[in-house]
Chain A
Amino acid sequence: MIAELGHLALCFALAISLVLAIFPLYGSYKGAAGPVLLARPLAILLFLLTSVAFGALCYSFWSNDFTVLNVASNSNSMLPWYYRMTAVWGSHEGSMLLWVLMLSGWTAAVALLSNSLPLILQGRILGVLGIINVGFYGFVLFMSNPFERTLPFFPVDGRDLNPLLQDFGMIIHPPLLYMGYVGFAVSFAFAIAALLGGRFDSNWARWARPWTLAAWLFLTLGIMLGSWWAYLELGWGGWWFWDPVENASLMPWLVGTALIHSLAVTEKRGTFKSWTVLLAIAAFSLSLLGAFLVRSGVLVSVHAFATDPSRGLFLLFFLLVVVGGSLLLYGVRMHAVRSQARYQLFSREVLLWGNNIFLLTATLVVFLGTLYPLFHKELGLGSISIGEPFFNSIFQYLAIPFALLLGLGPWVRWKQQQWQPLLKPLSMVLVAALVLAVGVLSLYQTPSANLALLGLILGAWVAVSTVGEIQQKAVQLGGVPGLFKLQASHWGMVLGHLGFAMLVVGIAMTKTFSVEKDVRMKIGDSVELNGYTFLLSDVYALNGPNYGGQAAELEVFAHGEKLTHLHAEKRFYPVTRSVMTEAAVDARLSRDLYVALGEELSGPSWALRVYVKPYVRWIWLGAILMALGGLVSLGDKRYRRKTAAVTSPQSSAATGAPADA
């Protein structure tokens, strides 16, 4: 009964989204206010209906209703309640429902928060979002109905949730990631709405910016959590595998990062307009491409859902419609748009242009590396896989100029900048960065030209130059109290760049200094790794709510003193008959100690995988700092200025904003 209610709510939601896709756009085309005014209540209704559907599925999982196919194949009466809730989005069908819940949520948020926008623009944006909604509600209803029944022969108990997904990280990873993916639909809708209206001014960019920032910050957190989850749950101690599905999330992130920078130029200087629109289209298209790659089963990956070619075909068709339609519109409309602003070769515009070029090159690398095996196979040349060194080496080369430009960027003025005034402060920054990098490295080894040195130099360059720029601002604004005059978005930029510096240092240090050992141990054996002694003190049988298995206790000593205690598990889930590694981690800012319990061997002895991973936390902390930067930028007062709706200047070159992004 409840499941049917959910199904019905979804059917209504599809109908509502159809109305939303047609009337407001028609109204804005004809210049009639009536149909456009419909848009906001429709968007809110859409969200309410989807919430009802989502709630119905949650209830089915909560009450162990195994007459619902989705519950029967992804849950079990022994599963703890919190994992029953996360099982809602543990399957393809459920995760698509979460996807449309997010999409309608963003649509409703746009409806609620777009008071200050001109009515006609509201109608266009919500109409475009309506079209996207139609596509996804159609997909959910016709291709992956989450409310399908198993009646009349329903199972007594469910097949249980994939043990890999029974983890805290999994509770929040998909929602955050989807918030990011789907959030780019809003940037996309802003871009298409502007194309339809043919008007790009700095107001438009100022309205689109917070939405893009919000989507970007969710995506950042989602990717970061995914990486953390893989580190803990896959038991390999790796944090990034260049897996096709990871790549699918990295591509929209890279383009999204380019987009937030390009939007800054469009807002402040009224230029880069066509470029910004193209990036907004690309970010959303790559999100769709990601959905297609994950759900069609064309690529082999840990993440891939059960394969169904018709689903893939539907998503591919939708992707082609979105990309084709928006590029056509772009081609027809964009030639009329001109940027008036002029800038010299050495200016912030050109540096941000460089930022975009490198981010897009990185996207292209990921795109090629992800899709090349697919083409290779389809052309009948045999199955191949792309080795990690491909991505790693190219990203390493791209990071160098990217980080150099990044450190330089905030010092350089819009329009044009002379070299001479920057020479002194920047050479001081450079010297400080070099000293810092070599100093930190000498704590670990005699400094030599390796990846760690490169990472430390780049990280220190970005960090020192960011701090130096703030110090310079403080001097200009008359001391530290003057810093309160800086806009929130400036602080957001500072945090984001510091986060990037942290990320680079973390990656380089982990890659260079991680040590790993696979050992065979009996109880009482110990193994030494990088000055840490790991003693296997006990192994015993586990008894969990829905799993059994073995647990190992280890004592860790350093310099003869007991440092910590580690508890690693190897779980066996009887319902799915699968084995899972729960790694033991002792986390510090400067290093992680990581132990994974392997199989039991004759003896009795056990295979254990032991790691010491310096600075691996910095990778995730850096990502969190970047996301925090996005959040702080969102708090900028100018995004909430109401007066913007009344004035609608055609040109924006005149907005003489202070020189910060």
Chain B
Amino acid sequence: MNPRRKQRLIAVSSILVLLSGGVGAMLYALNENVDLFYTPSQLVDGLGEDKNKPVVGQRLRIGGMVVKGSVRRDEHSLKVSFDLVDTGPIVTVHYDGILPDLFREGQGIVAQGTLLNATTIEATEVLAKHDENYMPPEVAEAMKGIKHVPPKQTYSAETP
């Protein structure tokens, strides 16, 4: 091998090593920072086919509709708690801070936080989208055929 080629080989292989190392580190960092999304029923029953339930202390996102009449405020601070629901089970969210402009009872919201116990979440951030009909897409999917689809359609969907 002539020196020129050898130099190139070294250059190319060192780039490849650096690149794969970089991509590997990136994917590792990515996995460290992934927050799974749950709906209240997924949180209680488990997610996916394996029925994976989150462990206490895990960082996660939860999306659901705020249960009417469930918002309880502390008299002297900004502490607030409310219940979320999609198709059945209810999950309670605790939050200390300012709720977003469009937070209202009966509306869809997404909260980011950690799991305190099986049905309670301590939120670090509460998001509501700037749209009065907003429902987190995942919640809309879970609620399909339960509330918004007329019974006739549900029936015809079931008959082959």
For A162, the chain B residues whose CB sits under 8 A away are 130
Interchain CB contact under 8 A, A518 and B129: no
Q: Which residues in chain B, 97-132, are within 8 Å of chain A measured between CB atoms?
A: 97-99, 101-102, 112, 129-132
A436 at the interface (CB under 8 A from B): no
CA distance A386 to B77 in the complex (A): 31
Interchain CB contact under 8 A, A382 and B48: yes
Closest-CB distance, A300 to chain B (whole angstroms): 6
> Known contacts A368-B30, A390-B29, A580-B101; is A385 also within 8 Å of B37 by CB?
yes
Interchain CB contact under 8 A, B98 and A598: yes
A528 at the interface (CB under 8 A from B): no
For B29, the chain A residues whose CB sits under 8 A away are 390, 393-394
The number of A-B residue pairs with CB atoms under 8 Å apart is 88
B37 contact from A164, A380, A384, Cβ within 8 A: A384
Q: Which residues in chain A, 571-618, are within 8 Å of chain B measured between CB atoms?
A: 576-581, 596, 598-599, 601-602, 607-609
Interchain CB contact under 8 A, B33 and A389: yes
A599 contact from B61, B99, B131, Cβ within 8 A: B99
B132 contact from A365, A372, A576, Cβ within 8 A: A576
Closest-CB distance, B14 to chain A (whole angstroms): 12
For B78, the chain A residues whose CB sits under 8 A away are 518-520, 607
CA distance A393 to B22 in the complex (A): 13
Fill in one digit per residue for B62-91: 1 if any A CB lies within 8 Å of its CB, else 0.
000000000001011110000000000000
Closest-CB distance, A341 to chain B (whole angstroms): 15
B143 at the interface (CB under 8 A from A): no
Fill in one digit per residue for A386-406: 1 if any B CB lies within 8 Å of its CB, else 0.
110110011000000000000
Count of chain A residues near B, Cβ 8 A: 43
B26 at the interface (CB under 8 A from A): yes
Interface of B is mostly: mixed
> Known contacts A365-B26, A601-B73, A602-B75; is A578 also within 8 Å of B102 by CB?
yes
Fill in one digit per residue for A180-203: 1 if any B CB lies within 8 Å of its CB, else 0.
000000000000000000000000
For A579, the chain B residues whose CB sits under 8 A away are 101-102
> Known contacts A164-B130, A520-B78, A580-B101; is A300 also within 8 Å of B137 by CB?
yes
Q: List 27 A-B contacts (CB under 8 A).
A: A162-B130, A300-B136, A372-B30, A372-B34, A380-B48, A382-B37, A382-B47, A383-B138, A384-B35, A384-B37, A385-B61, A387-B34, A387-B35, A389-B33, A390-B30, A394-B26, A519-B78, A520-B76, A520-B78, A577-B132, A578-B101, A579-B101, A579-B102, A598-B99, A599-B99, A602-B75, A607-B98
Beyond A364-B26, A384-B35, A393-B29: 6 further Cβ-contacts under 8 Å? A302-B130, A368-B30, A384-B37, A386-B33, A602-B75, A607-B99
A interface list, Cβ under 8 A from B: 162-164, 235, 300, 302, 361, 364-365, 368-369, 372, 376, 380-387, 389-390, 393-394, 518-520, 570, 576-581, 596, 598-599, 601-602, 607-609
